[in-house]
Structure 1
Amino acid sequence: MFGYYRVAAAVNKTSVANPAKNAKEILTLITEASQKNVSVVVFPELTFTGYTASDLLLNQTLIASQNDALASILEETKHLHTISILGIALFEADRLYNCAVVIQNGKILGVIPKSYLPNKKEFYEKRQFISGRDITRSSVNLLEEEVPFGVDLLFTDQKDMTFGVEICEDLWAVTPPSNHMASNGANLLFNLSASNELIGKHAYREELVRTQSARCMATYVYSSAGVGESTTDTVFGGDALICEYGSTLVQNERFSLENSLISADVDLERLKWLRINESSYGDTRRKKTRLIQVNTLAKINNIERLIDPTPFVPSRHTDKKHRCQEIIQIQSHALIKRMNYAHIQKAIIGISGGLDSTLALLSTHKAFEMMDWDIKNIIAITMPGFGTTSRTKNNAIKLCETLGVTLKEINITDISLKEFEAIDHNKEEHSITYENVQARVRTSILMNMANKLGGLVIGTGDLSEIALGWSTYNGDHMSMYALNAGIPKTLIKYVIESYKENKKIAPIIEDILNTPISPELLPHKNDTIMQETENIIGPYELHDFFLYHFIKYGAKPKKILHLATMAFDTQYDEQTIHKWLKLFLKRFFTQQFKRSCMPDGPKVGTISLSPRADWKMPSDADFDAWLNQLE
């Protein structure tokens, strides 16, 4: 469903050296996974015998009992489409291999041997097993059936899912097999493990799985042996977790005496396209692999996952201070470099009392503080016009006075009227011309003032406005350095809010945050804003959501619509979201010409629309294919 698959990690109750008893618990978990429409479920290492069977694994009776148990599982799962990955000890060519067996619909799809065998301290696998890391393009007779055998096996549904399997210590190696699996197209990785519990090991293990999912740009599903294993010398906690591209999606409670099954819906389509969009993945060396076609998988009818409505904003409140400081540092040092290079120590900013100019002013102020430059060399110019209200004007003035910057007020009404007269425009006709004349007058004043004072005009337009083209060409669209160009509107609010820690400006910041977003180009009514941007082009929180998914991994409009409907379930209905998504697509395509000549500005997050760096697009591209896909 839109590239999402439901995957699971199971930890079964284990009786050491009792495959028949273990098979009953395994079947219970496979059945549960199937009922949940799980595509693939992974179990711990040596699932049937228990990892701690030790030298009993060298006994014919245990291996025979294990094979009988596997046969019973195959018989009982013939009708199930869920793929199960189970751990077995495989006797082949007079050698014993620690293996994963992949099964579906009562058939064995393939067997993967363990590559790296731990043989230090409490681990002594080389006592029983042989490494299978050199086994490729081979097969093995298992339960009287010839099946693919080797470390070169990958499994695919020929759609968005390709998965590979490694076993426990393989992940801890300098070069895990999963690296090669990922470089050959596996976007889903499974690990059958038996990792014992030690002080601090749990956190390190999670970090290992999480970072491997990031390095491989994949989903990593991990299942480790549980408390039923022998405690002769070690204790196993039954750790299970699912990570996707550097984030932990779900993790079980360790030390459970019962069966455990965790699942997550993972976006494998997104991972495929992220590899194209964001990394040097394509330069990784490919190896020869065998691709095994799986049967039809269980389908999910709904995505059971929290879809973040504000993907640009940190989801954890604890990250807030750190993230905001990082953004401010990026902006401030970007400006310092530009001003030093230009041998300029004066900054010219148009200040309106709105969000964007507020952040630009605060970050510029921070840069001047860092360099111990004279704060009075920040020249903030407020330029009231026909639509300016006392609320925004007063907030702009109070903020400038509190920060101690130089404040100038230049009323643009008379200049705009002269412009109307020069081009024979009726001042009562409140058209786009009426608005854009004012925007260009303001930019002209800023540029001319910069020339006069030897300053740098700081652009205030943000990433959301750049995406929508919500600016006047060669008006507020232009500056000498676009300080906010890498920050979307939802994140700007977030960063400005962090400045409330400064008690002197906190009340001003609070009122700016609560002021409706408006260019204030149309006349106000009784000192009330009559032109609210989000009533005209739609909510910025929706547009930022669209922008993230559209640019980050090239999501199709229909998928963006579905995810947005989930994310904003209680705020907007599907019809409303569809309306604004359609507008977003049209404006994103038709306004590229403004982005093609936008001024320099620092990249702050993972998405930028700079034509010199992240986003190169023709200004006359047709958007019919995207609108048709949406419909």
Structure 2
Amino acid sequence: MKIALAQLNPTIGDLKNNAQQILKAAQQVTSQGVKLLLTPELSLCGYPPRDLLLNAHFITEMEQTLYQLARDLSPNLHVLVGLATANPDAIVTGGKPLFNSIALLAAGKVQKIFHKRLLPTYDVFDENRYFAPGSEPNWFVLDGIKIGVTVCEDLWNDEDYWGKRSYLANPIAELAELDIDLSINLSASPYSVGKQQVRSAILKHAATKYDRAVLYVNQIGANDDLIFDGCSLGFDRSGELVCRGTSFDRDLIIIEFDEVAKDLKPAKIQPQSDCTDAEIWAALVLGVRDYIHKCGFQKVILGLSGGIDSALVAAIAAEALGAENVLGVLMPSTYSSSHSVTDAIAVAANLGIETQTIPIGDLMQGFDRTLESQFKGTEFGLAEENIQSRIRGTLLMSMSNKFGYLLLSTGNKSEMAVGYCTLYGDMNGGLAVIADVPKMRVFSICKWLNREREIIPINIIIKPPSAELKPGQIDQDSLPPYEILDAILEAIVCEHQSIEQIVDRGFDPQIVTKITRLVKLAEFKRRQAPPGLKITDRAFGTGWRMPIASALR
């Protein structure tokens, strides 16, 4: 029996076009003798739909779209489609009003509905807000083959792999006890660095532990801050990889299940990069492209400072949208070094993007005159420095409003963590492209970009980072070297370690205390930041839920 895995890129809420994607994939595989088509979790509405699920009309329309899709499909093809369905017992039981479901479509009808068993509530996930968990193992028989159905998190609860259980149920184990022939998992698993290797290991473990072949199909694309990398997988009963889909792109994989051996036959295995910088680059390019297009924009604007962060963002934008759709604006002040301008022009030339220059010296003097009486008798400090950033932010937002370009914010994760960014200044924007990329990784990606030809000018990479808000300023005037800062931030943000624990690892107590304090104080800034693309396990986005006002050290 031939089975197809469709890596789809749904737009959240676009039921009609998402259904068309499924239908198109179905039409492609029908002529190749495929009997079963797998699509990702919530493939009809897109993942994560979040509070769109609170709209009763949306749920009704989703059901209507599903039934229409069933009628449009070839009667000889079975298709598994992800959607949200109503929970008829919610009023009686007081449970959640919906299920995260998979519908089996065939012969013009909805043949069966399966419900996701395990509902994640950690990090970016909040499924318990909307869904009731399914209570029964999910399976069906097709051409004499007993196929077990799981949805994303249902696969991630094996105590032998993790050393613990996060939920009482283990859907994979329950299906094995029912003597299924093939296990399938329909997923919308967000990308983070290293996630592909973890998924592969979990699937291999499930195949070998239960002596069952397993197929896994994943969504691709980006929805707001989340990036989905596809990389659908198949493992045979012995745990050997038999198919792998493309990373960060649509794909349609066809594989055959041997009914006699009850195993999968080898099929297409797409190559996978072993370079972390290349992987992150692909994720960010996809994230920018989808965010811009799904929000209805065509072009972007950003400030080009001559620094490494804006250079990397410009490169990502040019790759994602085409150089003709990227505008870089230079806004030199009296404190800007000559190389800031020449480096910005050089990176723009390498990328082929348009630039415009707006000197802000006169505007700075105007602010100084206007605030002279209010600031009289005080020393030059942060307030004056930040005026420059806010002038630039205002100019960029004005051009964004005037011409309909989306403004890209260029701050990195290290700056966002410690608050080295200006509210209503360089934090302005509709998307923070590298807000989850630590500074040392920014350097690493830029060096990787230059592996064949110079894209990021060498001077940008080797010069000391500086905001250039006062004469001779460099970041390390007030911060430790970035390799030290990033290591401390990793311990604070990702590993949730205390000051004492971090100091025990050999870091200076005063520096650790200072950085910990800065992370806490910057929370009110991060709350007002544009959405940032998530590429690590712990980003300052929907999964970061720290209070602004708190007394915890």
TM-score relative to the length of structure 1? 0.44
| Structure 1 unmatched ranges of 5 or more | 1-174, 186-209, 217-318, 370-374, 524-529, 566-573, 625-631
Counterpart pick for 1:390 among 329, 332, 338: 338
Structure 1 residues 322-337: aligned runs within 5 Å: 322-337=275-290
- Whole-angstrom CA distance in 2 between matches of 1:406 and 1:177: 55
Q: Provide the alpha-carbon RMSD of the alignment.
A: 2.8
Alignment deviations for residues 90-135 of structure 1 (CA, whole Å, 9 cap, x no partner)? xxxxxxxxxxxxxxxxxxxxxxxxxxxxxxxxxxxxxxxxxxxxxx
Partner of 1:614: 543
CA change 1:337–1:215 in 2 (3 A) is: closer
Confirm or deny that 1:600 pairs with 2:553: no
Partners of 1:479 and 1:544 in 2: CA distance: 24
SS of aligned partner of 2:312: helix
Q: How far has the Cα of 1:536 moved from its partner?
A: 0.9
* Alpha-carbon separation, structure 2, partners of 1:212 and 1:334: 21
- Where do residues 578-589 of structure 1 align in structure 2 (5 Å cutoff)? 578-589=509-520
Per-residue displacement from partner, 1:530-573 (whole Å, max 9, x unpaired)? 1111121222222211121222232222121222x2xxxxxxxx
Deviation, structure 1 residue 213 = 13
Aligned equivalents of 2:199 and 2:347: distance in 1?
47
1:497 and 2:447 aligned: yes
Q: Equivalent residue of 2:440, what SS?
A: helix
The percentage of counterpart residues that share the same residue type is 25
Separation (CA, whole Å) in 1 of partners of 2:448 and 2:387? 35
CA–CA separation in structure 1 for the residues paired with 2:486 and 2:331: 29
CA contact (8 A) 2:273 2:279 kept: no
- 2:108 is matched with none
The reply to whether residue 473 of structure 1 matches residue 455 of structure 2 is no
Candidates 450, 453, 461, aligned match of 2:400? 450
Instruction: Give the Cα separation in 2 of the matches to 1:426 and 1:413.
Output: 21
Per the TM alignment, residue 434 of structure 1 is displaced from its structure 2 partner at its CA by: 1.3
Contact 1:321–1:498 (CA<8 Å) still a contact in 2? no
Q: Secondary structure at the match of 2:164?
A: helix
Cα distance in structure 2, aligned partners of 1:437 and 1:459: 17
Question: Do the aligned partners of 2:318 and 2:325 also contact (CA within 8 Å) in 1?
Answer: no
2:495 aligns with one of 521, 544, 553: 553
Q: By how many angstroms is 1:320 displaced? A: 8.7
1:75-95 Cα shifts (integer Å, max 9, x gaps): xxxxxxxxxxxxxxxxxxxxx
Distance in 1 of aligned mates of 2:343 and 2:510: 34
Is residue 345 of structure 1 aligned with residue 276 of structure 2? no
SS at match of 2:517: helix
Give the direction of change, closer, same or farther, for the CA distance of 1:180–1:606 in structure 2 (3 Å limit).
Answer: closer
8 Å CA contact retained: 1:386, 1:521: no
1:403 aligns with 2:332: no
Q: What is the DSSP-based 3-state SS (H/G/I as helix, E as strand, rest coil) of the residue aligned with 1:522?
A: coil
> Kindly tell me: are residues 502 and 421 of structure 1, through their superposed partners in 2, closer, same or farther at Cα, counting changes over 3 Å?
farther
Letter in 2 for 1:182: K
Matched residue SS, 1:365: helix
Residue 360 of structure 2 corresponds to which residue in structure 1? 412
Equivalent position amino acid for 1:367 in 2: A
Kindly indicate whether the alpha-carbon contact (under 8 Å) linking 1:459 and 1:479 is maintained by their aligned counterparts in 2: yes
Secondary structure in 1 matching 2:384:
helix
- Asked if the contact 2:299–2:321 (Cα under 8 Å) also holds between the matched residues in 1, the reply is no
Residue from 480, 483, 487 that aligns with 1:541: 483
Please give the secondary structure, in 2, of the residue aligned with 1:537. coil
Structure of larger gyration radius: 1
Q: Which AA in structure 1 matches 2:509?
A: H
Equivalent residues of 2:408, 2:433 under 8 A apart: yes
Pairs within 5 Å for 1:252-401: 322-369=275-322, 375-401=323-349
Deviations 1:135-172 (A, max 9, x none): xxxxxxxxxxxxxxxxxxxxxxxxxxxxxxxxxxxxxx
Q: Which residue of structure 2 lines up, in the alignment, with residue 182 of structure 1? A: 164
How much has 1:474 moved relative to structure 2?
Answer: 1.6
Q: What CA distance in whole angstroms lies between the structure 1 residues aligned with 2:335 and 2:378?
A: 13
Partner Cα distance (2:424, 2:551) in 1: 24
Distance 1:586 1:344, change over 3 A: same
Q: Distance in 2 between matches of 1:353 and 1:403?
A: 14
Alpha-carbon distance between aligned partners in 1 of 2:159 and 2:545, rounded to the nearest angstrom: 36
Within the alignment, does 1:522 sit opposite 2:488 as a pair?
A: no
Could you tell me which amino acid in structure 1 is paired with residue 502 of structure 2? I
In 2 relative to 1, CA 320–476 (structure 1 residues): closer, same or farther, beyond 3 Å? farther
Deviations 1:571-622 (A, max 9, x none): xxx5xx2221111111111111011121112101222011xx1211111112
Q: 1:180 to 1:532 in 2, by over 3 A?
A: closer
Task: Please list every run of 5 or more consecutive structure 2 residues that lacks an aligned counterpart in the other structure.
Answer: 1-156, 168-196, 204-271
Residue aligning to 1:36: none
Structure-1 separation of matches of 2:399 and 2:199: 53
**Is the 1:548–1:607 Cα contact (8 Å) retained in structure 2?**
no
State the aligned residue count.
298
1:491 aligned counterpart, secondary structure: helix
User: Displacement of 1:460 after TM fit?
Assistant: 0.2
**One-letter code aligned to 1:559:** Q
Q: 2:411 aligns with which of 433, 439, 461?
A: 461
Residue of structure 1 equivalent to 2:188: none
CA contact (8 A) 2:300 2:326 kept: yes
1:457 match: secondary structure: strand
Contact 2:385/2:470 (8 A) holds in 1: yes
Q: Match of 1:438? A: 388
Q: How is 1:181-220 mapped onto 2 (pairs within 5 angstroms)? A: 182-183=164-165
Amino acid at match of 2:344: A
For 1:433 and 1:406, locate their aligned partners in 2 and report how far apart those are by CA, in whole Å.
32
Deviations 1:318-377 (A, max 9, x none): x997322221221111111122123221110101111110110110011024xxxxx233
Deviation at 1:483, TM superposition (A): 0.5
Conserved 8 A contact 2:329-2:358: yes
